[in-house]
Amino acid sequence: MKNLALRIGLSFWLMSPTWIVAQETPKESPASSGSTLFSGPQVDEALPRFEFKSGLGDSIGKLIDPVALAQGKPLVLVFLHDVNRQSISMTRVLTQYTQSRGQDGLFSAVILLAEDPTGAQDTIKRIQHALTPNVPTGVSPDGPEGPGSYGLNRAVQMTILVADKNRVKANFALVQPSLQVDLPKVVRSVVELIGGPEPKLSELLDAGGAMQNAARNPNQGDESKPDSEKIRSLVRPLIQRDAQVDQVDRAALAIERAIEESPAIKKEIGRIASTIVGSGKLDNYGTLRAQDYLKQWAQKYGKEPVRPSDDPKKP
């Protein structure tokens, strides 16, 4: 049943790059409201070493020992017992934050637990657009129970461990992960460990690519006016003439997410793309792959600019 639910869930996410929308109703998950559920090593217990098989980046297929790699430095381990919108949203936003604190010595890793490790590797490939690049992500070869020495609980969707000097400092066993309720608690435990200001929830969601139009504060400004600097920062990496294919795809994905997040950005990207395509100078903008994206956006979100000879009001 779990595998069936996973396949159904994946088919839903893959219909749109905006699957990560986090419009959930704030509520206490059972694990964060005083439940006695336990999963994994508890606070002050040792963090055993273990290995998982990488499913992303240049290290695909290689065995990774995150505890050894951390070398006793602060470490955040995210164990995914169940792959669904809530757990992946939490993983995405949290690891975006942990990656941003990497310069402060924080290391993090994401480990999927599944009865079929091979199928789980395929799952990572299918949803890699929803995962944080450069954060070691893979599958435990030990099946749905994970590393035997960890005592992970299959009754929860996620187990998040925050550790330092190879000892657990915080443990979060989440039955129903909530960005509004659980994410701030996890991030607070990280801040308490490595210092620095505690980010606001809105900042975490924005950085993680979560979409929250319905929850935006109406006093934040006029949403109908796009941020010109943000537009430039989105388009600039797309149209670099020497950009690699993966760089173009990442830039295009960032633009697609911004389009879904803001009608104003959607309109402006449509205007820019249609202007470039209709100018007759498309070849001057980026690689062929980038030009294909511009053509798609011009067709989907904009319209070809009217040329004088095409204007019915002019002879």
Q: What is the pLDDT of residue 174?
A: 95
Q: Which of 56, 233, 214 is nearest to 130 (CA)?
A: 56
The average pLDDT across 296-303 equals 86
Of 14-18, 160-164, 243-247, 295-299, which range is least confident?
Answer: 14-18
Burial of 177 (0-12, 13-18, 19+ CB in 10 A): buried
pTM: 0.59
Long-range contacts of 288-297 (CB under 8 A, 24+ apart): 289/245, 289/248, 289/249, 290/238, 290/239, 290/243, 290/248, 290/251, 290/252, 293/238, 293/248, 293/252, 293/255, 297/255, 297/259, 297/269, 297/270, 297/273
Q: Between 228-235 and 263-278, two packed helices, what is the crossing angle to 10 degrees? A: 50
Encode pLDDT of 73-108 as tens digits. Answer: 999 999 999 999 899 999 999 999 999 999 899 999
The average pLDDT across 105-115 equals 95
Contact by Cβ (8 Å): 186, 75: no
Helices of type H across 153-262: 182-194, 201-207, 228-235, 245-261
* DSSP 8-class letter at 248: H
Spelled out in words, what is the top-level CATH class assigned to the domain 2-213?
Answer: alpha beta
Q: Identify the band that residue 227 occupies on the pLDDT scale cut at 50, 70 and 90.
A: low
Residues of the chain with CATH 3.40.30.10: 2-213
In angstroms, rounded to a whole number, what is the distance separating the alpha carbons of residues 76 and 19? Answer: 24
